[in-house]
Structure 1
Amino acid sequence: MSANRKRLACVECTRRKIRCDKVVPCRNCTRRGIDCSRARDDGDDQVERLQSRVQELEAALRDARAGRSTASPVQLERGPSATVSVASVDRTTEHPEREIEDAATILEFLAWGRRKNPDYGQVVARRDGLEQHSPGDITAEYDGEDRHLGPGTASALAYVQSLLPPRPQVEQLVDWHCECLLWYHGSFHSVRLREELDDFYRVSDGDLTHNQVDLRWVALLFAVLTGALACAPRATAQAWGFPEWEQTALSQRWFKAVSTCLHHGDFAACHSIHSVQAITTLTMSAHLLGFSNSLCVLLAAGARIAQSLGLHRLGPSTDDDMSPESVDREIGRRAWCQLCIQDWFSIPFCESYLISRHCANTAKPRNCRDDDMVPRSHDEPTTTSYSRFFYEVAALMPSLQDGLMSANTPYTRYEQVLEHDRRLRQLATQDLPYYLQNVPVDPSWPRHVPWARRSLAISSSHKIIMIHRKFLELSFTNPVFARTRRTCVAAARTILKEQKEAIHDGGPMLWTHQAFGVTASIILCLDLFYRNTSDPETTHHRQLVQDGLQILSHSGSNMIAQRGVHLLEALLSREQCSRPPPIGRALGGELDDRRIDLDLVGIIRNFCEQGRLRGFPRLAAGPKQVPAMDMDHGWPPVDNRIGQRSGGSGRQSVLSPSLEYLAAPYGLDGVEGLQDILSLASNYVN
């Protein structure tokens, strides 16, 4: 008999060792007039969780009807795998009417194996090693002691294990990411990550197959490593011991390792904060490495996982609360903040968004340092300060989208554009934190402050273009929308100016510099098509585009840069062909029909054909080509085109980047136009 066979005989018949008809109540117990029950399976923890949650709901209902205080210190009994703190009970009974109204839905969700509006403190994976996550889906079980599921997991993990560098290099990469990149995305807590990294090597000695290693945390580790290696200047990577070809190859394969670990960690069924952090951390490297489409899907999954964990319902931050639970909630706010930023900045490209600000109450993360978590002034630079500011910038995008969708005329739609233009300018000037303003850099500030200032100038300029994007085509031909043309051209010039300065600041290679540089060059190229060749600005703009091309051509394996170079070359070539001959210029002067010469369809077709002919690289190989069939996991290497990276060393500018054009004054249906050509180079640019 199998040891796992379910016992059907009742408890009393089993005790008396008599035959039972296995129907509750059975004939024997009915005849004797005694209670009949069947023994429960000891391993039925799902039933335990369901009964525990039912007890919670019943207790909440009793408290609501009896009019008890919501601050009752009653400790509700839970199953063996989790407990509820007093603070959790307080939050559960804070709105008893809502709890009563949602009781049916909550119970229905439990039958599905999900939770409705879970408390983040109950489901986040804590440092004590207890796995507290959502109930999860039913998964297949395999014999043996290996906790990882699926017959192919062992070989996949063996491959991922071979990608993990020695511990000293891992720690170098993690430290550099925390110091030079974390300020940009703020997705995780650096102190907590380092503690978890120490535990990883102490418990498992770096073995990914150890039964106490959470593959979703391993995904976060590889996301951190990928960001560091992909964004590091060439000289920095060389100092770590990574030759040029390996820097590109490992970055790409580490990115794929994140997906592998998430998949084999069953991240879609067993929700964890580590999965969300891994996905949001990938934003630093995905676009650089050519995985924009993959990131788009992962971010959507991350948003749903975060909502399942309750990250959208964390409420405001309590400044005087320094408990471990409070730190956990702050970590959740950071991940949620980055998800919101990524989702809302993608609106101009997909014209929809997943996260509604009206359906969440999670406040921005606390402005604090990771080592003490003490709240600090809005003007002081910390790990979270940059993300906090750009959360407000990103929040303009869903508001603009809703306004454009509700407006019925070109006039009212353009009014929405101008209103959000005004709001962004106010954020970028009046509401700017002190450390991002044009003031001398305090020596006590973190080293990333000059990089943050330059990134602010580039990103803010790009967002101005995104706000005006729907009216860009009309702005070249209709004087009513001339402000959009002037605004976008000024923003493009600012982006290219700051991009040239970024080469010498010794900072990380941020994907936004290249991506937004492509956008800026496209804007100036389009302006050339509609500008008189005798205009002095024509030569200046053409030179700026050439400078941008020069920078992009030296961006190594950056996929956005590679696509951008091909697209800009096609645009410049078309612009040269569309110029009237010298005799025509002497007789005519005005370009009254240059728009026809733009031929967007032809440019896009030529770009796609060139991409197929040149074969944009997917995954870089080593110094020698390896046949595709030599790799087991569907990651075949192809031709590697690696250029020289810049920014390895050089002076660090202390001057604030230019935001002067944002201080300019402001001023009605933008038709669908130029959208494809603005999206081609960056694919999914935020």
Structure 2
Amino acid sequence: MDFQSTGRRKRPRPSYSCVECTRRKLRCSKHIPCSACVERGIAQLCRRRPGVASATVRRPSPASATPIPIRQNIISNEPYYATPALETPRESGPEAIPEDQPRVTVPASTPATSNAPSSNGPARSRHKIVDNVTEDAAVMLEFLALGRQRILQVAQIEQQSPLGAALDDMGNASGLLFTPSQVRSMMHYHQESIAWIHNVVHMPTFREQCEKSFANPSECQGLWLGLYYAMLAVTLYHMSPSLLRDLDIHEPYSLAELCYRNSIDRLSDADYMSNHSLFSLQTICLLIYIGHNIGQSDRISVLLACAVRIAQCLCLHRLGPDPPRNGSTDDEVEAMQRRLIDREVSKRVWWFLVRQDWLQIPFNNTYTIHPTQFNTPMPLNCNEEIPLMFSTEAIIHHEQEHYTQGSYTMVLNDVAVLIWKTQDKMCQQGHPNGVEDGLRKLYSEVLQADRELRELMNKMPSFYRNTPDAQTGHPAHVQHQGKVLSLALAHKFYSIHRHFQIPSFKDPWFAYTKLSCFPIMRRSLATVLSLPPHDPHTSVARNMWTINTHVLTTAVWLLFELIFSHGTGAPNMVDGQETEIRDLAAKASIFLQENQSRSRIAKRGVSLINALLEIDRGIQMGDERQFNLNDIIAHVAGTDQQETQGNGVFGDEPCEQVEGGARSIVDWLSRDAPTWEDILDVLDNASES
């Protein structure tokens, strides 16, 4: 019956399907959250369109909400063990923990029982803050600081060009940019004080190539120019500004971004994806140290994937064992040395790519390079200067107690192998829901990896383990390397335990995660924050993108201890620990704030740490109200456009001002908003690195 024949207006039938199901054209169960969104792992995003039955649709309160099943990683790209359903183990007891690990007493009651609402009233206890928080919470905050696009897309934040328009008028710069004298000085400093962070370039060879380019600039190859600009970018970014001023070089960070862009342009101009060269691989390896800091992590991830495939096309993964020493050769000595240097550099580049791939396993839950598909050995521990590098037969391979440019990356290579082995063992266990005591079996692999990582720490070269006063005969920056390495290893403990960080606040069975990670994170963070501020070598260390990331991650872990530990039945911290953590977090914020003018990771990190400090302060005052996910993501994303002192909700002011002021997050929290768990769950969707 149509409208014209009856004269009655036909009322549109309201749709109760959620926005996601409507957009995907899927059948919706029409309950919020709907079953389809729960299965996709985005239950926290499930909502009806604005204005549809809004008066009757209410979000259930935390005390009365029906528990939402944790998603199963069937339709995601993650391995099925990576984010296991954190059920209470069917049996409780210490038998799954190896005998050499501290025993953890497990109470008879399960977390589900101990977390049940009290019959005395509806008041929400403090430990409810951790309920339903995803185990990837700290990782997601780290990726938020890295500016990963998926997080910003979830919050519908409009993104601007990472490099901005400030360099547009310089983008067409040609030539070598600096005088030969300036380049010689910078490359000498790079060889002495910076090359250890990457170890993908044989510096004497590169400096020879620079001299040839000065003599015949028109003969410079495009791919080599990409490497040249990448070397300049890394040097300008990490070298102390005071030393650069002595070379009459000013505004080094703007120049570093210019060289970074020129390097990428040279790669593109030379069609590096078709014209494969070791130069392009070295360039990509170096661009990492600038790209992450200036907010181009997504570009860097894609470049790394390209580099792996180019390296395979060049057969860098099939170099085979080092040739035996043989004094008889028909080649001239110089040609033999050049061939061996090229081979050694190829090994360094390949293992740089392996290291980048495998150290990201805990965050990507996958890897690209499989160990059964390459036979290239690890680089040798050798000197760089050719007279000291060679014997009459081959490259001299020193024991690890002999310091070289590759000593730092040598330790990280061993750690990367451990990370891969742990991933492989956990995958072999199967999905925890499909194996009896599956979650405990996964945790036993974590405990085994924890032990092996401690063994690696004990086997490190003594110049990294000893105090600076005990080091003799080594360059001055070795003590800085030791502190950087200490923080990197603390981050690797977190990498191993990351799936069980949040469960450790809920279930005493996983308490060893806190016992293991907490002391080393606290100690290593304090060590890095104590670096002398005006030391030129400190400038190299604190400008490393990994330092900014590790400082942020470590501070977030420690602050989670404050926010989530109380009220969960876990033993209280000893006297002074809470104050020490807050002090370390405040110093970490100041440390990152000093870097925020040249690092977007640091700038976002300041906002995140200050926000968590405010949340902890609010909880101390008894305020447990909720806050809005999109607001915090928008604020952190907005730090790129704010002035250094900003005027956002959390503010980018020094941490001394966090304790007071009118712009308190406690006032902001009074707004109607989703829960803290929702923020972490949505950030969980951004775990692609």
Return the TM-score normalized by structure 1.
0.62
Task: From 349, 356, 366, give the equivalent of 2:380.
Answer: 366
Query: Could you tell me how far apart the structure 1 residues matched to 2:678 and 2:352 are?
Result: 29
Contact 2:483/2:524, CA 8 A, preserved across alignment:
no
Task: From 470, 485, 489, give the equivalent of 1:460.
Answer: 489
Within 5 A, what are the aligned runs for 1:139-288?
A: 159-161=172-174, 164-204=177-217, 210=218, 212-243=219-250, 246-288=251-293
Find the counterpart in structure 1 of residue 635 from structure 2: 610
Find the counterpart in structure 2 of residue 525 from structure 1: 559
Contact 2:464/2:482, CA 8 A, preserved across alignment:
yes
1:308 aligns with 2:330: no
Query: Could you tell me how far apart the structure 1 residues matched to 2:652 and 2:243 are?
Result: 16
Within 5 A, what are the aligned runs for 1:212-611?
A: 212-243=219-250, 246-318=251-323, 320=325, 323-372=337-386, 373=389, 374-407=396-429, 408=432, 409-429=438-458, 431-438=459-466, 440=469, 442-504=471-533, 505-507=535-537, 508=540, 509-532=543-566, 535=573, 536=575, 537-555=577-595, 556-581=597-622, 597=624, 602=627, 604-611=629-636
Identity within the alignment, %: 27
Provide Cα deviations, 1:348-379, integer angstroms capped at 9, x if missing partner.
Answer: 22111111111111011111111132322221
Find the counterpart in structure 1 of residue 87 from structure 2: none
| 1:201 alignment partner, SS class | helix
The aligned amino acid for 2:594 is H
Find the counterpart in structure 2 of residue 141 from structure 1: none
The aligned amino acid for 1:275 is S
Contact 1:473/1:673, CA 8 A, preserved across alignment:
no
Give 1:423 deviation, angstroms. 1.1
| 1:554 alignment partner, SS class | helix
Give 1:567 deviation, angstroms. 1.0
Query: Could you tell me how far apart the structure 1 residues matched to 2:685 and 2:632 are?
Result: 12
Q: Which shows bigger deviation, 437-446 or 284-293?
A: 437-446
Query: Could you tell me how far apart the structure 1 residues matched to 2:253 and 2:536 are?
Result: 19
Within 5 A, what are the aligned runs for 1:586-665?
A: 597=624, 602=627, 604-616=629-641
Query: Could you tell me how far apart the structure 2 residues matched to 1:515 and 1:178 are?
Result: 25
Judging changes above 3 Å, is the alpha-carbon distance between structure 1 residues 612 and 558 closer, same or farther for their aligned structure 2 residues? closer
Q: Which has the larger radius of gyration?
A: 1
Query: Could you tell me how far apart the structure 2 residues matched to 1:605 and 1:519 are?
Result: 21
Query: Could you tell me how far apart the structure 2 residues matched to 1:487 and 1:598 are?
Result: 31
Judging changes above 3 Å, is the alpha-carbon distance between structure 1 residues 317 and 513 closer, same or farther for their aligned structure 2 residues? same
The aligned amino acid for 1:310 is C
Give 1:157 deviation, angstroms. 11
Give 1:315 deviation, angstroms. 1.6
Contact 1:189/1:331, CA 8 A, preserved across alignment:
yes
Within 5 A, what are the aligned runs for 1:6-85?
A: none
Judging changes above 3 Å, is the alpha-carbon distance between structure 1 residues 295 and 642 closer, same or farther for their aligned structure 2 residues? farther
Contact 1:495/1:516, CA 8 A, preserved across alignment:
no
For structure 2, list consecutive stretches of 5 or more residues without a partner in the other structure.
Answer: 1-167, 327-335, 390-395, 433-437, 645-650, 655-676
Pairwise CA RMSD of aligned residues? 3.2
Return the TM-score normalized by structure 2.
0.62
Give 1:565 deviation, angstroms. 0.5
Give 1:642 deviation, angstroms. 13
Judging changes above 3 Å, is the alpha-carbon distance between structure 1 residues 604 and 287 closer, same or farther for their aligned structure 2 residues? farther
Judging changes above 3 Å, is the alpha-carbon distance between structure 1 residues 390 and 158 closer, same or farther for their aligned structure 2 residues? closer
Contact 1:276/1:302, CA 8 A, preserved across alignment:
yes
Query: Could you tell me how far apart the structure 2 residues matched to 1:607 and 1:274 are?
Result: 41
Provide Cα deviations, 1:225-271, integer angstroms capped at 9, x if missing partner.
Answer: 1111111233223323233xx22211112111111110001100010
Provide Cα deviations, 1:162-213, integer angstroms capped at 9, x if missing partner.
Answer: 6722222222222222211111210111111011111111122xxxxx3x32
Give 1:450 deviation, angstroms. 1.2
Query: Could you tell me how far apart the structure 2 residues matched to 1:450 and 1:615 are?
Result: 33
Provide Cα deviations, 1:295-354, integer angstroms capped at 9, x if missing partner.
Answer: 111111111111111111112224746532222111100111111111111112211111
Query: Could you tell me how far apart the structure 2 residues matched to 1:679 and 1:199 are?
Result: 49
Give 1:525 deviation, angstroms. 1.3
Contact 1:552/1:562, CA 8 A, preserved across alignment:
yes
Find the counterpart in structure 2 of residue 47 from structure 1: none
The aligned amino acid for 1:553 is Q
Find the counterpart in structure 1 of residue 120 from structure 2: none
The aligned amino acid for 1:391 is N
Give 1:677 deviation, angstroms. 6.0
Contact 1:251/1:289, CA 8 A, preserved across alignment:
no
Query: Could you tell me how far apart the structure 2 residues matched to 1:172 and 1:290 are?
Result: 29
Query: Could you tell me how far apart the structure 2 residues matched to 1:319 and 1:598 are?
Result: 68
The aligned amino acid for 2:223 is R
Contact 2:233/2:256, CA 8 A, preserved across alignment:
yes
Contact 1:181/1:228, CA 8 A, preserved across alignment:
yes
Query: Could you tell me how far apart the structure 2 residues matched to 1:676 and 1:345 are?
Result: 24
Judging changes above 3 Å, is the alpha-carbon distance between structure 1 residues 299 and 672 closer, same or farther for their aligned structure 2 residues? farther
Judging changes above 3 Å, is the alpha-carbon distance between structure 1 residues 379 and 579 closer, same or farther for their aligned structure 2 residues? same
Judging changes above 3 Å, is the alpha-carbon distance between structure 1 residues 333 and 393 closer, same or farther for their aligned structure 2 residues? same
Give 1:283 deviation, angstroms. 2.5
| 1:289 alignment partner, SS class | coil
Query: Could you tell me how far apart the structure 2 residues matched to 1:165 and 1:642 are?
Result: 35
Contact 2:304/2:353, CA 8 A, preserved across alignment:
yes
Provide Cα deviations, 1:114-155, integer angstroms capped at 9, x if missing partner.
Answer: xxxxxxxxxxxxxxxxxxxxxxxxxxxxxxxxxxxxxxxxx9
| Matched pairs, number | 457
Judging changes above 3 Å, is the alpha-carbon distance between structure 1 residues 255 and 416 closer, same or farther for their aligned structure 2 residues? same
Contact 2:603/2:639, CA 8 A, preserved across alignment:
no
For structure 1, list consecutive stretches of 5 or more residues without a partner in the other structure.
Answer: 1-154, 205-209, 582-593, 621-640, 645-670
